[in-house]
Amino acid sequence: MQNPGGLNLRAHGGGIMGIEIAIEDIRGKFKLSQNRSDQERLDVAVQLRKLGNSSLAESMLAELRHLSDN
C-alpha cells in the first residue's frame, strides 16, 4: 500500500506492519571517546597504538591536539 508520504507500507499478518524506506545517503562518524577526560583519551590512544591500531590512535591524538589549541 502506498501512502501519501511516499513510504511503501505492506501489512503483514497479526498486526505487524513492515515499511520500506529508500536510503539515499549514509554518513559515518567516528566516536573517539569525546565524553572522556583528556587523560583517559590519551590512555586509549596509547593502548590503541600498542595494539597496532596506530591510524585510529593518531586520529584521537590529532583531535586532542586540536582541542588543546583552542
- DSSP assignments along 14-36, one per residue: GG-EEEE-------------TTS
Answering whether pTM is above 0.75, one says no
Q: Structurally, how many domains does the chain consist of?
A: 1
Would you say residue 27 lies in a domain?
Answer: yes
Residue 42 lies in a domain: yes
Which residue range forms the structural domain that includes residue 49? Answer: 8-69
Of residues 29, 40, 41, 43, the one with CA closest to residue 66: 41
Is residue 1 in some structural domain? no
Quick check: is 46 in a domain? yes
Residues of the chain short of pLDDT 70, as ranges, are 1-15, 33
Tell me if 22 is assigned to some domain: yes
pLDDT of amino acid 9: 56
